[in-house]
Structure formats: C-alpha cells, structure tokens
Structure 1
Amino acid sequence: MADISLSDVHVVSSRQKTLKRFNIADVIFHRATQAAAILVLLILGGVIFSLIRGSIPIFREFGLAFFVTQSWNPVTEQFGGLAAIYGTVVTSLIAMLIAVPLGIGIAIFLTELCPQFLRRPIGIAVELLAGIPSIIYGIWGFFVFAPFLQQTLQPFLINVTAPIPVLSYLFAGPPYGIGILTASLILAIMVLPFITSITRDVFLTVPPVLKEAAYGVGCTRWEVIRNVVIPYTRVGVVGGVMLGLGRALGETMAVTFVVGNANRISASLLQPGTTISATIANEFTEATGDIHTGSLIALGLILFLITFTVLAISRLLLMRVAKASGA
C-alpha cells in the first residue's frame, strides 16, 4: 500500500509540474502576442503623430485653400494639393474599373472553365506579375508602353471621340504617351494579379457539393457562377478588390515614370498629371524650407486619410455583406 501511495504522489506531482510548465508557456505566449499587437498600434500612432505635427504649420498657413487649389510653386512658396489629390483618386478609380472585371473574369476562367493542363501555367504567370518590382513596371511603361499608346491607342481615342461632346474633352489631344490614362493602365496591370489571385483562392473554397447540386437541378454554368460561386465568396472578393485599391492608391515609382508629373488638373485623361505619391517622391529630397517640406508631409497625411477611409469603408461593406449572408 505504501508503494502505491508513493507512486500516486509521484504521478500527481509530475502532472502538477507539467501543468505549471504549460501555464508558464501560455502566459509567455499571451504576453508576447499582446506586446506585438501593442507595438503595431504604437508604430501606427507614431506615424500619425509625425504626419499631423509636420502638417499643422501648413494648414495654419494655407487653411482649406491647400485642399482646393492646384498652385504648386516652390519659388513663391505657394502650395496646393488639389492636383495631386485629383490625380491619385482618378488614376486609382480608372485602374480599378479596368482591373476588377478582368481579375474576376480570369479567376472564374481558372476555377471553372480552364482546362486542367493550363491552370497551373496561367496561375504561375499571374503570381509572377505580382512579384515584379514596381520600378520595373515604371521603366517598361515609360520606354515601351507609353510610346505604344502614343502611336496607337491615344490617336485612335482622339479621332473616335472627337464628335462626341463629353468624350471629346476626356480624350482631347495631343497624344503625349504619358499621362493620367497611361498611369491608370499601368496601375491596372499592377493590381490585376492581386485581385485575380485572391479571387481565385476564394473561388476554390466553394464546396463542390453546392455546385453539383446546382448542376443537378438544371442550372447552366453561368447560373452556377452567378448564383452559387459569387454569393458564397463575395466577402473574399470584396476584400481582394479593396486590397488592390489600397495598392493603387499608394503606388509610387511606376506612376512617377508615366504620369507626367505636371501639377495641374486637366479634363483630358491623355494629359500629364501627378499623384500624391509621385509628388512626394519627386520633390522630398530637394525640398528647401519648412513650407515646402511641410506641404509634402501634408500630402502624405492626406494620402493616409484617403487610404484609411477606403479601408474603413471596405470593413463596413464586409460587415454588411457578412451580416446579410448570416441573415
């Protein structure tokens, strides 16, 4: 009996030591992950604080005029961010209008229509596009894509839309090659692989039994895609689109090469323009004086607010979509 009791005591003691060791490991893991999360918040808060502190003198100097004027003259120290804000928003929206339908269409083809032997090569090609550095896109866009547009697409658009009242202003010449439209097309090419890859991955999560059931009741392939695949994955699709939009808003080097870097607003999409990121990249190292530097920091704050607003809207949209799906 004594041996049994000593053995039981030993087992209980061993279990207590094991539980204690597990508890210590859990506490360490919890504190480490908590510290990492707090660190992210501190870094974000530091960025926001720095941007606000650097922008306050500019907003005191120019007030709301900084948002509604397009004058950008470092010599006279007159700065307005409207042209850069306009270029950022317009190029991103045009890029998304082009990339979203193409990206979703490619994802549908890869998951539902593509022959098996072609799925892997096309999928790898899409992922390779996502891995190309942005400066490579910029060099290719400036030396290859922009001259091609100057000789082909832009003259075609100018001639075709000349008799049409509204479009004649949107595509008014001369064809420079570089400009808002060229930057938008480059952005569309850059965000396309992100949208395609994410949309393809979420399409693959659709349970086969749902599609088989739809086919069993006589649905066509288009009806299965429209009524089963897309509704089941719409949260992921919206997330991929918003990720692409965030990439388009903050892209710098590729846009800097092809947008033209002209601080003015033109009704024509073929004319040179600028974006917030391109303006900062071009002028920050050469900025002289507190007003010029502060104006660039203020543009950075505006870009941050635009991106934050887009992300907030996307989160609200995802919450509404998830709530509707649950209902």
Structure 2
Amino acid sequence: MAVKASDISAESPRARTQRRNDLLFRGATLFFALLVLTLLGGVIISLIHGALPALKAFGFGFVTTEIWNPVTEKFGALAPIYGTLVTSAIAMLVGVPVSFGIAIFLTELCPAWAKRPIGIAVELLAGIPSIIYGIWGLFVFAPFLQRTVQPFLINTLGTIPGIGAWFKGPPYGIGVLTAGLILAIMILPFITSITRDVFETMPAMLRESAYGLGATTWEVVRDITIPYTRVGLVGGVMLGLGRALGETMAVTFVIGNSHRIASSLLAPGTTISAAIANEFTEAVGDTYTSSLIALGLVLFVITFIVLSLAKLMLVRMNRKAGT
C-alpha cells in the first residue's frame, strides 16, 4: 500500500514533538540525578570543612579516644561510636527476626480476614514520631525494664562467665540495652513492610510447585521464598540499619547520654546522633563545635561503609547464583 505524501507531512510534526518530549524528559531526569549527587557532595564538603579544626587538633586519636571534656577542650569520639554500633547491633538482632516472622506470617499463614488489620497496624508504627517513642521509652518502657527484665538478666545471664559482664551492674532502666530495644521497635515496621512486599512478588507457581512436591511451609520459606527474594530482603535490612544508625531523639531519651564505654549493656552510654543533638546548641568555641561536626562526619563514614559492604554482599550473592 502506497504512503501518501500528505500522511508523511501530517505525521512529521508529531514525530518531532515526541523526540522533543523525549529529550526534555531525559534532560529532566539527568538533572535530578545530578542534583542528588551535588547535594551529597555538598554535604560531604560541609562536613569535612567543619570537622577540619578538630581533626587537625586531635588527628586520628579523635576516633580512638574516649575522653569528652568540653571544659579542657579534649574530645574523643570512641564512646559515641561504640554506642552507635552496639545499639544498632541490638536493634538488628532483635528487629530483623521479628520482622521476618511477621512478614512470613502475613504472606504464608495469616487468615485472609486478619491480614489487612495486622498489616495496617504494622505500617502505622512507622508513622509514629521518634520523639513519641522516646517519651514512651522513658516513662513506660524503661521503668518496666528496670523492675522486671533487667533484674532477671542480672540474676541469670549476669552470673555466666564471659557474657556475664554484659549484664552486670544496677538496673538503671535507661541505658544501651534499652536504646537498642527501642530502635528494634522503630525499625520493625520498615523491614516488615519491605519484606512482605518482596515476598508477595514471588511467582505463585514456585510456591505452589513446592507445596505440590510435598514441601512444608518452613521448607518453602527456607528453600524457595528467601533465596528468590534475597536481594530485596537485604535492601530492607539495610534500610532498617540506616534508620537505627541515624536515629536521634528516641535514643537521646533512653540511653542516658554518658560519654563513657561500659562493659555492661545495662549502663548508660551515648551515640553519635544523640551527642550532637544534646550538645550542639550549647557548644562554645570552635574546637567544641568542630568536634561535634566531626562526629557527624564519622557517622557519615560509618553509614557509607555499611552500605558499601551491603552492596558488595549483594554482588557476591548474585555471582554465586550465576546472575
């Protein structure tokens, strides 16, 4: 069938419009992508510039020294670094298994009538402001731990050689363990929601085929669901870890804000974000302010290392799977 010249001329403006729109769309998306990199670069430069006086004054000893004395202007980041890593580790140890358990129940075992209410309840936890978690932790959760859980831990695990040092001392209520448990509650809805969504993306044929071969629910989850969705699961865990590393107000309320490293998890401590939130408005002098900014730079580096290791782990997992 011959194409008329009028048809070609009629379609040409439309084709030109489509090409122009494609170019505009590509340019806009490229601009937004570069904007993110620019903002990230600006944050890094600002942190380095603000932290330079402290880094010049204390050198590498800033991250290996525990002392934090604004009066003598001697500052070290070791105690906040320790508190940040330990509270985040407690949060992940408690929060990840619980989140996975909730997601598995919602996708594999939950009755249809209960799936929606439970899912909404979990997602509502993500909408609670962190300061509310902090107030609840200080006035409700910490006294509960002080009266019941911490004395039990002291009288049982505290008497075991080796790990007993982690659970010795008076039951303050507030402390590193309390902060870690509050963080576990806070990251739970994020990991649960992502894990549930990832589980639901698995083709129903794979699950039904496994059940057809006689696999139990546990075997389906262990051998089919988790291997198939491993990349998404790691992404959800890393999102929760990022929230735990950077959480400020809730931790500030319940950790005790003590710049020292104690062997006991029941003792007060501090984190990088809590130290910055507590002291930045009261910082007097360039060295004090610069030290707090240097703490922010250290937290940025820790987060970058954690995310890089997660990405490396994903690459190795995909390589093992042959993808």
TM-score bucket (shorter structure): over 0.9
| Paired residue type of 1:282 | N
The aligned counterpart of 1:182 is 178
Q: Deviations over 1:295-319 (max 9, x none)?
A: 0000000000000111111111122
Across the two proteins, how many residue pairs are aligned to each other?
Answer: 322
| Structure 2 residue matching 1:63: 3-state secondary structure | helix
Aligned residue in 2 for 1:52:
48
Please give the per-residue CA displacement for 1:82-108, whole angstroms capped at 9, x wherever unaligned.
Answer: 000000000001110011111111111
Distance in 2 (CA, whole Å) between partners of 1:302 and 1:11 is: 64
Question: 2: CA distance between counterparts of 1:244 and 1:163?
Answer: 33
Alignment of 1:4-153 (within 5 A): 8-153=4-149
Q: What CA deviation, in whole Å up to 9, does each residue of 1:111-154 have, x standing for no partner?
A: 10111111111100110011111111001001110011111101
Cα separation, 1, equivalents of 2:6 and 2:209:
59
Counterpart of 2:267 in 1: which secondary structure? Answer: coil
Alpha-carbon distance, 1:53 to partner: 1.0
Aligned to 1:215: 211
1:144-200 Cα distance to aligned partner (Å, 9 max, x none): 100111111011111112421223211112111000000000000000111111111
The alignment's TM-score, normalised by the length of structure 1, stands at 0.96
How far is the alpha carbon of 1:324 from its aligned partner? Answer: 2.4
Asked if the contact 1:239/1:318 (under 8 Å) is kept, the reply is no
Aligned residue number for residue 160 of structure 1 = 156
- For 1:252 and 1:80, locate their aligned partners in 2 and report how far apart those are by CA, in whole Å: 19
- Whose radius of gyration is greater, 1 or 2? 1
2:246 is the alignment partner of 1:250: yes
TM-score with structure 2 length normalisation?
Answer: 0.97
Residues in 2 aligned to 1:168 and 1:325: alpha-carbon distance in whole angstroms: 41
- Of 187, 200, 207 in structure 2, the residue corresponding to residue 204 of structure 1 is 200
How far apart, in 2, do the equivalents of 1:217 and 1:322 lie? 27
| Matched letter for residue 226 of structure 1 | R
Instruction: Report % sequence identity.
Output: 65
Once superposed, which parts of structure 1, at least 4 consecutive aligned residues long, lie more than 4 Å away?
none
Amino acid at match of 1:190: M
Does residue 1:169 correspond to 2:176, yes or no?
no
Given that 1:103 and 1:196 are in contact with CA atoms closer than 8 Å, whether structure 2 keeps it comes out as yes
**Aligned partner letter, 1:219:** A
After TM superposition, the structure 1 stretch with the greater mean CA deviation from structure 2, 218-227 or 275-284, is 218-227
Check whether the contact 2:158–2:166 (CA below 8 A) recurs between aligned residues: no
The equivalent of 1:267 in structure 2 is 263
Among 284, 298, 314, the residue aligned to 1:302: 298
Q: Secondary structure at the match of 1:64?
A: helix
How big is the shift at 1:9?
Answer: 3.1
Amino acid at match of 1:272: P
The alignment status of 1:283 with 2:279, answered yes or no, reads yes
Give the 3-state SS of the residue equivalent to 2:159 in structure 1. Answer: coil
Cα distance, 1:323 vs. partner?
Answer: 2.6
Pairwise CA RMSD: 1.3
